[in-house]
Amino acid sequence: MGGARALPVGEAVQLSRLAAEAVIHRRGKETCLRGKLTNALLGLSASCELAGQKDGLCALADQAVVQLGWSLPFMDSTAHQMLYLIESQPGSGSGTRN
């Protein structure tokens, strides 16, 4: 079966955080960063759908994965929005589990 693997939402959020940080800090070539961010957002979208979650972070993932031609500015903007939304979640401090 195709599609992204749905993880528990907390794990998907952590993977998304790591991908967003990699993009912002340019930890890799642009193509690799695009792949990391794409995979993280697809996984987050699948996890949100499985959990029936529809918050802002899930909506951002759903919107981003349907965009074509991810430019570096789009990836930067998406990564910054992701980190903002992750940090805005209750219990989002380092090492905190929801």
Phi (first) and psi of residue 52, to 5 degrees: 70, 25
What residue numbers bound the domain in which 53 lies? 9-88
For 36-48, what is the mean pLDDT? Answer: 95
Is the pLDDT at 94 greater than 50? The verdict is no
Structure tokens at 73: 């500015």
Residue 5 per-residue DSSP state: P
Specify the pLDDT at position 55: 93
Rounded-to-10 torsion of CA 20, 21, 25, 30 = -30
Number of domains, the chain? 1
User: Within a domain: residue 96?
Assistant: no
Query: How many helical (H) and strand (E) elements, i.e. helices and strands, does the chain have?
Result: 4, 0
Question: Is the pLDDT at 1 greater than 70, yes or no?
Answer: no
Residue 93 lies in a domain: no
Residue 26 in any domain: the answer is: yes
